[in-house]
Each structure stands twice: as C-alpha cells, then as structure tokens.
Amino acid sequence: MNLLKKHCAALLAATLLGSTASAQPLLRCEITYGGSTQILESHLTTNADAVYVAEAEKIAGRFRFKAILLGSGDRLETIKLYAYYENNRQPVLLQEVKYQAPFPNSTGAYGLTGLNYLYSPPLGRELQYGCALLEAQS
C-alpha cells in the first residue's frame, strides 16, 4: 500500500507541474519572396553568442533572414532581426533591427514589426517580412 501512495503522489506532482508550465516567448516571422512565404519561428536563448553563431535561414537563394531572442531565465530582454542579400561572394547585410523590453502588445501576424519591404542592391528584388511576438507552452 505504501508503494501505491508514493506512486499516486508522484503522479499528482507531475500533473500539477505540467499544468503550471510557464509560457515561453516565441517569435513568428512570415517572410515572403517571389510569391512564396516561409514561416520562421525563434525561441528564447540565454547565449549572447547566438547573434554570431546562429545560421540565417536561406530564402530562395536570394536572401537570408535571422531572428534571435535573447534573455535570462524565462525573461525576454532583446529581439534582434537580420536580413541579408545573398551575393556571389558573401551575404550583404540589408537591415539590422533591435527591440528592447518592454515589448509592445503585438496583435496580428505582424504585430511586433509591422510589414517591412527590403530590396536587393543590383536588381531591386523585393523581400517582405513581418513578425509577431507570441507565447509558446514549454
């Protein structure tokens, strides 16, 4: 009987912990180029070096896009967005954006950033993106 009580107590504790899981910040960006849309989701990291080591997502071989959420513990402190034009030798930075806490209430698909339009240097190819700050269950 003692073993059954321990098992029930452990099950109850696991259930309570699962139901009180905190929401983690999630950044969802919609990136459109050439009529095709990609969704990029980024989660919180505490590694400040992520800005330098994280790979940018390739967009149709013409652009790259990177989103970094930096914080400590479960607290989001900074959002950094990078958009690059893909050139023959190396990616060329088109835009760098930094958002600091506190963040505005973002509603809609582009609630944090609005809809942005960027253009490549040689031919003026258009990249559109917009991001919303959401919460994902951990």
pLDDT score, position 6: 35
DSSP at 120: -
Of the ranges 6-10, 23-27, 39-43, which one carries the lowest mean pLDDT score? 6-10
Q: CA-CA distances (angstroms) from residue 5 to 11, 12, 15, 26?
A: 10, 10, 15, 39
For 38-61, what is the mean pLDDT?
A: 92
Cis previous bond, 104, omega within 30: no
| Whole-number Å distance between alpha carbons of 75 and 25 | 8
**pLDDT-derived band at 136, boundaries 50, 70, 90:** low
- The Cα 25–Cα 133 span in angstroms is 7
Residue 21 has a pLDDT of 53
Delimit the domains of the chain by residue range. Answer: 22-137
Among 28-32, 44-48, 50-54, top mean pLDDT goes to 28-32
What pLDDT is recorded for position 74?
83
Q: Where residue 71 falls among pLDDT bands split at 50, 70, 90?
A: very high
Mean pLDDT value of segment 99-111: 85
Give SS3 for 31: strand
